[in-house]
Amino acid sequence: MLRVVLAQPRGFCAGVERAIEIVERALKKYGPPIYVRHEIVHNRHVVEDLRTRGAVFVDELDEIPPGAITVFSAHGVAKRVEEAAAERGLPVIDATCPLVAKVHNEGRRYAGQEREIVLVGHAGHAEVEGTIGQVPAKVHLVQTVEDVARLQVTDPEKLAYITQTTLSVDDTKGIIAALTQRFPSIVGPNVRDICYATQNRQQAVRDLAGQVDVILVVGSRNSSNSNRLREIGQELGRPSYLIDDADALQPEWFDGARTVGLTAGASAPETLVQGVLNGLRRFGEIEITTQDGVAEDVRFRFPAQLTDA
Q: Between the CA of residue 69 and those of 30, 31, 59, what are the distances in Å?
A: 8, 10, 15
The answer to whether residues 22 and 50 belong to one domain is: yes
What's the whole-number mean pLDDT along residues 132-151? 97
Predicted confidence band at 168 (pLDDT cuts at 50, 70, 90)? confident
- 141, 158, 193 - which closes a domain: 193
286-290 and 2-6 beta bridge pairing:
parallel
pLDDT of residue 307: 83
At 169, is the pLDDT very low, low, confident or very high (cuts 50, 70, 90)? confident
- The enclosing domain of 181 has a CATH number of 3.40.1010.20
> How many percent of the chain have pLDDT more than 90?
92
136 DSSP assignment: S
Domain boundary among 172, 193, 214: 193
User: Alpha-carbon distance 181 to 189, whole Å?
Assistant: 17
Active site residues: 127
CB-CB contact of 215 with 209 (8 Å)? yes
Residues 6 or more apart in contact with residue 111 via CB below 8 angstroms: 117, 135, 136, 137
Q: Tell me whether residue 295 is in a domain.
A: no
CB 213 within 8 A of CB 259: yes
On whether both 244 and 187 belong to a single domain, the answer is: no
Q: Look at 162-166, 191-195, 251-255, 276-280 and tell me which has the smallest mean pLDDT.
A: 191-195
Residue 261 domain-assigned? yes
The answer to whether residue 193 scores a pLDDT higher than 70 is no
Residue 121 lies in a domain: yes
Sheet with 34-37, edge to edge strand ranges: 55-58, 34-37, 70-72, 92-94
What is the structure's pLDDT at 72?
Answer: 97
- Of 193, 210, 245, which one is at a domain's C-terminal end? 193
Check whether residue 238 and residue 254 sit in a common domain: yes
Cα separation, 139 vs 253, in Å, equals: 43
Residue 60 belongs to domain with CATH number: 3.40.50.11270
pLDDT of residue 130: 97
pLDDT digits (tens, 9 = 90+) for 244-298: 999 999 999 999 999 999 999 999 999 999 999 999 999 999 999 999 989 899 8
Mean pLDDT taken over the chain: 95
In this prediction, residues 231-240 reach a mean pLDDT of 97
Q: Which domain holds residue 140?
A: 99-193
Domain count of the fold of the chain: 3
Same domain, 204 and 275: yes
Its pTM stands at 0.93
pLDDT digits (tens, 9 = 90+) for 50-84: 999 999 999 999 999 999 999 999 999 999 999 99
User: Chain centroid to CA 188: how far?
Assistant: 21
Q: Is residue 20 part of a domain?
A: yes
Query: Which are the contacts of 304, defined by CB distance < 8 A and separation ≥ 6?
Result: none
Residue 122 lies in a domain: yes
The 10s digit of each residue's pLDDT in 170-187 is 889 999 999 999 999 999
Quick one: which of 19, 54, 53, 24 has its CA closest to 39? 19
Mark whether 86 and 119 lie in a shared domain.
no
User: Is the domain of 210 the same as that of 286?
Assistant: yes
Do residue 211 and residue 236 come from a single domain?
Answer: yes
User: What SS3 state is found at 93?
Assistant: strand
CA angle, residues 138, 58, 61, in degrees to nearest 5: 55
Residues 54 and 109 in one domain: no
> 296 in a domain, yes or no?
no
Q: Is residue 233 part of a domain?
A: yes
pLDDT of residue 309: 63
